A and B are shown apart, each in its own frame.
Chain A
């Protein structure tokens, strides 16, 4: 049976979602997106530059191939986040939103009270809401209760590359909510993505981990393989951890030992 990721009315084969920011060029970005195998790509919503002709990102992302997931990055209030979601829906014609309500400039940790409130508003308006949240099971439950279609706890601060700082909280979130859990932010290298998937997360979303690598295209492939490997390992059921050795080869049939002289 095919192992599909279902979020709201959407279905995806890939469990890796990738951002489109911070690439050195659109060509590198396009190649990295392809190598990642991602079906969902995130974008931000910003003012059109009135003073110079721009090369629209739309020219570089095949919207028939990728599901565009706009974010509300940079929004510090419920009002701004909701407004940005409305603009994204109008601009892109999708009611899918990666909801961010940021609480602190230095850490970019979410304002979780604002996040729950903005989620409530947008869900009522018919949006499929994917909130970027803390690794806090209580908040995750609140987000599910107001109707979010997934919860996206951070592994570590955005762009930090620190990996999963609190795997136990992620595990508790996985036990607490029924909607998909997607680790968003903080993934630095392939093993971080694999760990998220081995914990049982439904997906991983990243940007800097790929775009900031020396070779973004090969890192995108590494992330793809890590997410697939981690998922497969999770589904396969790992062995329990034991403190002492347990021989892999049979004890019977050993040759006669010379023994101590």
Chain B
């Protein structure tokens, strides 16, 4: 199925969880935040929360800034 991760279209397997998506993208979960359709997915629920077709996912972390 097609989803959008940080604005980019991506093909992922049906029923994938947030945890699965992070592993697929090789993103370490420490220090990141995940949002699906503008709602935060709390760290503790990454393994349970499944992603649906067309979901818009944001994955952010801290970078240098003032």
Complex Cα distance, B65 from A44, in Å, reads: 5
Q: B43's closest neighbor in chain A, by CB?
A: A90
Q: B62's closest neighbor in chain A, by CB?
A: A43
Q: Which residue from B7, B26, B40, B66 sits with its C-beta under 8 Å from A86?
A: B40
Q: B22's closest neighbor in chain A, by CB?
A: A48
Complex Cα distance, B25 from A158, in Å, reads: 35
Complex Cα distance, B35 from A91, in Å, reads: 11
Q: Does B8 contact A (CB under 8 A)?
A: yes
Q: Tell whether, in the assembled complex, residue B35 and residue A87 are in contact, meaning their CB atoms are under 8 Å apart.
A: yes
**Count of A residues near B, CB < 8 Å?**
37
Q: Tell whether, in the assembled complex, residue A29 and residue B64 are in contact, meaning their CB atoms are under 8 Å apart.
A: yes
Q: Does A42 contact B (CB under 8 A)?
A: yes
User: Given contacts A58-B30, A86-B40, A87-B33, are A47 and B65 in contact (CB under 8 A)?
Assistant: no
Main secondary structure of the interface of A (DSSP, over half): mixed
Q: How large is the interface on B (under 10, 10 to 19, 20 to 34, 35 or more residues)?
A: 20 to 34
Q: Does A73 contact B (CB under 8 A)?
A: yes
Q: Which residues of chain A from 148 to 205 have a CB within 8 Å of any chain B CB? A: 158-159, 185, 205
Q: Does A243 contact B (CB under 8 A)?
A: no
Residues of B whose CB lies within 8 Å of any CB of A are 5-8, 25-28, 30-35, 38, 40, 42-43, 58-66
Complex A-B: 16 CB contacts under 8 Å: A19-B65, A21-B63, A43-B65, A44-B66, A45-B60, A46-B61, A48-B6, A50-B5, A58-B61, A83-B38, A86-B33, A87-B35, A90-B40, A91-B62, A158-B66, A207-B66
